[in-house]
């Protein structure tokens, strides 16, 4: 009788994992296959199992309901089916389930609103343990609730070091210390790589999963970048069959984690050997194999992907214009009719690249502009560092001025709106104004003045209602109650930049 290793219970939206022994001979990644069927009163889910190395095969499942479940495992190496039972307990207090789309906004599966305030640390999981630990310590401070990062290592400016592990069995090329930092050179595969693209390195993926779990414990969504073009090892230029094998393996391993988002690519349009047909094929695999319908998108360098495509759940946008980005949020909403996440609107920092040297004040301004236009902005930090440890790539320690202000925006403003999100309203030409999406529209307003500096403002909403007015200093992070007003009234303001009025009908 085969020895099955699994727990007898799991919480709702947790990861139920089963492991059992199987053959190691040949190539288990391609020569063996297995799947699990998980049966509850309210759902039946079939998922692919995967080979985890050293003769162990695993099956993972994320239950969406409480109660009694059973499972049936089958596989090419099993003489018959393997069956068992387990119990799904209620979700713990901080477990709200996966994030879902809610109109132009997001909510956890239990209905709790989710307001995305993301950051980018492309290869923090590939760094030495001390840097990873520091990254998690910074994230534990609550600045962000989403982080973008890559499965594959990355070869790019300020990031030419070797990763701590590789996704495949084999050996890497020796890095050419004189390699050009010209853009076109950063996507050239260096000679000397010796990989078996049909044999994964399970330790690489196991470590990645451990990082997903740690993020989940912190309440942070793992926005996984499955492919990217900045690559000297050859991972971005595998064959169609090797790509598809990789996608199925990644989905089998990661999809049972509730905090997973899928980003098919970082800068899909500059892969030298991938076509739109390739991206659509990857998307079809993802839609078929991810049984939990996690959020899905794809990220651009210059031309946008067609975010109206039915498989895409939300926009993941990098700015196209040097100056305008967040100011176009409401246009993107109208064009694509989906939530707009501006994952790259330039980074706070001081490197020599225009995408990485705006001030903290400018980044915070862009966050607020995106917010009042009904979207969500993303953070990044690229300050020159003596050991070349930049947050945007490595993680480590934050040095900028924006994270505390972004946390203030989330905790003191977004988390307190009476609804799931905001939408822009047309009021005066020299302000950005928003109200609540849905039935509370008109009962609540945010009016953001950005770099304008009015010393007073005349407001009018109607003749009969009373409104509480608060002055929010988005940079100094203060909130001042200015009183209750009705009819047409004047509000005194400090004549300084980055002020917001929060107006609530009494």
Distance between CA atoms of residues 43 and 60, nearest Å: 15
For the beta sheet containing 56-61, the strands, ordered from the edge strand earlier in sequence to the opposite edge, are 5-6, 16-21, 56-61, 50-51
Superfamily classification of domain 9-89? Immunoglobulins (2.60.40.10)
The string of pLDDT tens digits covering residues 18-47 is 999 999 999 999 999 999 999 999 999 999
Distance between CA atoms of residues 405 and 409, nearest Å: 6
Please give the structure tokens belonging to residue 363.
Answer: 């980044």
Distance between CA atoms of residues 470 and 468, nearest Å: 7
DSSP 321: S
Return the domain boundaries, the chain.
Answer: 9-89, 99-175+182-416, 429-505
Phi, psi of 456 (to 5 degrees): -155, 165
Please give the structure tokens belonging to residue 132.
Answer: 């990873």
For residue 209, give the nearest of 263, 167, 177, 264 by alpha carbon.
167
DSSP 355: G
- pTM of whole model > 0.85? yes
| Residue written as token pair 């630990």 | 133
State the CB neighbour count (10 A cutoff) for residue 327.
16
- Angle value at C-alpha 252, between 220 and 207, nearest 5 degrees: 55
Q: 3-state DSSP call for residue 458?
A: strand
The string of pLDDT tens digits covering residues 374-401 is 999 999 999 999 999 999 999 999 999 9
User: Which ranges in 310-455 belong to alpha helices (H)?
Assistant: 329-336, 360-372, 391-394, 402-408
The answer to whether 123 and 154 are in contact (CB under 8 A) is: yes
Please check whether the two domains, 99-175+182-416 and 429-505, share a CATH topology. Answer: no
Distance between CA atoms of residues 270 and 286, nearest Å: 21
Distance between CA atoms of residues 194 and 196, nearest Å: 7
* pLDDT tens by residue, the chain, 506 residues: 688 999 999 999 999 999 999 999 999 999 999 999 999 999 999 999 999 999 999 999 999 999 999 999 999 999 999 999 999 999 999 999 999 999 999 999 999 999 999 999 999 999 999 999 999 999 999 999 999 999 999 999 999 999 999 999 999 988 766 666 666 677 788 889 999 999 999 999 999 999 999 999 999 999 999 999 999 999 999 999 999 999 999 999 999 999 999 999 999 999 999 999 999 999 999 999 999 999 999 999 999 999 999 999 999 999 999 888 999 999 999 999 999 999 999 999 999 999 999 999 999 999 999 999 999 999 999 999 999 999 999 999 999 999 999 999 999 999 999 999 999 999 989 999 999 998 888 899 999 999 999 999 999 999 999 999 999 999 999 999 999 999 999 999 999 999 999 999 99
Please give the structure tokens belonging to residue 146.
Answer: 């989403």
From residue 215, alpha-carbon distances to 122, 148, 163, 259, 263 in Å are 15, 11, 20, 8, 17
For residue 363, give the nearest of 425, 395, 319, 396 by alpha carbon.
319
From residue 303, alpha-carbon distances to 93, 264, 306, 339, 366 in Å are 42, 15, 9, 18, 21
99-175+182-416: CATH, from 3.20.20.80, 3.40.1710.10, 3.40.50.20, 3.65.10.10:
3.20.20.80
The beta strand positions in 355-506, using DSSP E, are 376-379, 381-382, 422-425, 432-436, 444-448, 456-460, 466-473, 478-486, 488-492, 499-505
Side-chain half-sphere CA neighbours of 495 within 13 A: 1
State the CB neighbour count (10 A cutoff) for residue 390.
25
429-505: CATH, from 2.40.50.140, 2.60.40.3950, 3.30.200.20, 3.90.1150.10:
2.60.40.3950
For residue 245, give the nearest of 26, 76, 74, 29 by alpha carbon.
29
The answer to whether 148 and 343 are in contact (CB under 8 A) is: yes
Distance between CA atoms of residues 412 and 144, nearest Å: 14
First to last CA, the chain: 69
């Amino acid at each position: 009788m085969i020895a099955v290793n699994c727990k007898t219970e799991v919480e709702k939206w947790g990861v139920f994992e089963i492991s059992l022994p199987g053959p190691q001979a040949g190539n288990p990644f391609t020569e063996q296959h297995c799947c699990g069927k998980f049966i509850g009163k309210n759902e039946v889910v079939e998922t692919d199992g995967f080979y985890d190395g050293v003769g162990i095969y695993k099956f993972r499942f994320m239950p969406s309901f409480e109660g009694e479940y059973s499972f049936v495992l089958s596989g090419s190496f099993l003489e018959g089916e393997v069956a068992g039972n387990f119990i799904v307990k209620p979700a713990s207090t901080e477990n709200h389930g996966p994030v879902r789309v809610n109109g132009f906004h997001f909510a956890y599966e239990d209905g709790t609103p989710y307001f995305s305030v993301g950051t980018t640390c492309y290869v923090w999981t590939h760094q030495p343990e001390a840097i990873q630990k520091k990254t998690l310590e910074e994230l534990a401070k609550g600045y962000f609730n989403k982080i973008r990062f890559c499965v594959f290592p990355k070869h790019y400016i300020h990031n030419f070091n070797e990763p701590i592990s590789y996704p495949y069995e084999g050996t890497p090329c020796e890095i050419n210390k004189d390699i050009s930092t010209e853009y076109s050179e950063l996507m050239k595969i260096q000679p000397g790589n010796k990989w078996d693209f049909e044999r994964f390195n399970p330790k690489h993926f196991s470590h990645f999963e451990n990082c997903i779990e740690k993020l989940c414990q912190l309440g942070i969504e793992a926005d996984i970048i499955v492919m990217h073009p900045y690559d000297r090892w050859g991972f971005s230029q595998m064959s169609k069959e090797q790509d598809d094998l990789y996608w199925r393996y990644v989905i089998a391993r990661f999809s049972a984690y509730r905090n997973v988002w899928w980003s098919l690519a970082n800068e899909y349009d500059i892969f030298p050997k991938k076509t739109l047909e390739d991206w659509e094929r990857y998307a079809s695999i993802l839609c078929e194999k991810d049984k939990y319908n996690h959020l899905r998108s794809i990220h651009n360098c210059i031309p946008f992907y067609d975010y109206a495509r039915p498989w895409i759940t939300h926009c993941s946008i990098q700015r196209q214009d040097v100056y305008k980005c967040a100011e176009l949020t409401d246009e993107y909403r109208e064009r694509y009719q989906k939530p707009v996440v501006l994952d790259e609107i330039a980074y706070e920092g001081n490197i020599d690249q225009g995408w990485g040297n705006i001030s903290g004040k400018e980044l915070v301004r862009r966050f607020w502009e995106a917010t009042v236009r009904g979207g969500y902005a993303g953070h990044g930090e690229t300050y020159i560092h003596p050991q070349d440890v930049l947050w945007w790539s490595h993680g480590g320690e934050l040095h900028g001025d924006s994270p505390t202000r972004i946390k203030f925006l989330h905790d003191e403003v977004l988390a307190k709106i009476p609804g799931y999100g905001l939408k822009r309203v047309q009021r005066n030409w020299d302000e950005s104004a928003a109200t609540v999406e849905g039935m509370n529209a008109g009962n609540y307003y945010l009016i953001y003045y950005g770099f304008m500096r009015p010393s007073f403002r005349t407001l009018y909403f109607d003749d009969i209602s009373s409104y509480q007015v608060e002055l929010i200093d988005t940079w100094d992070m203060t909130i001042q109650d200015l009183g209750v007003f009705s009819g047409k009234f004047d509000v005194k303001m400090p004549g300084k930049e980055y002020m917001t009025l929060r107006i609530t009908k009494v």
